[in-house]
Amino acid sequence: MQARTARIGTRGSPLALAQAHEVRQRLSLAHGLPESSLEIVVIKTTGDRIQDRPLAEAGGKGLFTKEIEEALLRGDIDLAVHSMKDMPTVLPEGLAITAILPREDVRDAFISLTWPSLAAMPSGARIGTSSLRRAAQVRRLRPDLEIVGFRGNVETRLAKLAEGVADATYLACAGLRRLGKADRITHAVDPEDMLPAVAQGAIGIEIRANDKASADLAARIDDAPSARVVETERAFLARLEGSCRTPIAALATLAGPDIVLKGEILTPSGSISLRAERKGPVSDRIALAIDAADELKSKGGSGFFSV
């Protein structure tokens, strides 16, 4: 791997490119390689092409990863960089996530040119979002507000806000920070008020499972604490069989030798919200995640997501 250029596959959005450049920089420093030996390859995904309707209607999770994973399997690239919240819980056969970078701010950012917070908005004001999770959480907190569709990358959504398409929107604090746009955050939302998406703020590196050279390359930039909490949240999501079509939120945090997981499922209308919490040894994290998910499945019943 070090004798030739390693190819890093990524989407072409400004945020995806910022994440790919962060991976390249970390790999360069960890291995003493010139950045020129780590080529960034931009791949356009189905999710990038679809701009006229919510992703949940177009197929949900996987729309931002399919073409990149196909390039990985063909050998066109050696590593793929993903926002972990975009990743399906089941990977294509032959691929594996082998590294998670240090996790950024997990919180949602409330952004408005007028109002300081969701609570301050007047009845009938418009919240722009394409996220079923955020829409359901807003409806739970403020059923008197209007939800309007809001697709596009960070820059597009900020532009729509400036154009008055909505009075406020939500973006991930992590993405804004990585783009140098933290100053656009009106209010960073406490996770107790809005649990984030599973793996929000985490960047993952995917490789071919049998590619030892790429595995060795990625291993040095894996952040074990971040990997453990992301693994826990994804196990919770997988047990619920969740996707972009279902409002699901979760956050795992480390507390000394223990891990704390908070999970939530909501009806799309936001009228019902169910939460579960588990705390136990980090070594039991997957069992704790499964147990929390089973509690919510039991409470919600088989028709929960169709309410």
Q: Which of 86, 105, 167, 211 is catalytic?
A: 86
Nearest to 53 by CA among 134, 152, 168, 160: 152
Q: Which amino acid, 141?
A: L
- Angle, CA of 201, 206 and 210, to the nearest 5°: 155
What element of type H or E holds 277?
A: strand 273-281
Distance, CA of 198 to CA of 214 (rounded, Å)? 26
**Are 291 and 235 within 8 A, CB to CB?**
no
12 CB contacts (<8 Å, ≥6 apart)? 42, 43, 44, 48
Q: Is 105 a catalytic residue?
A: no
Nearest to 221 by CA among 12, 25, 4: 25
Q: CA-CA distances (angstroms) from residue 242 to 19, 59, 287?
A: 25, 13, 17
The residues assigned a catalytic role are 86
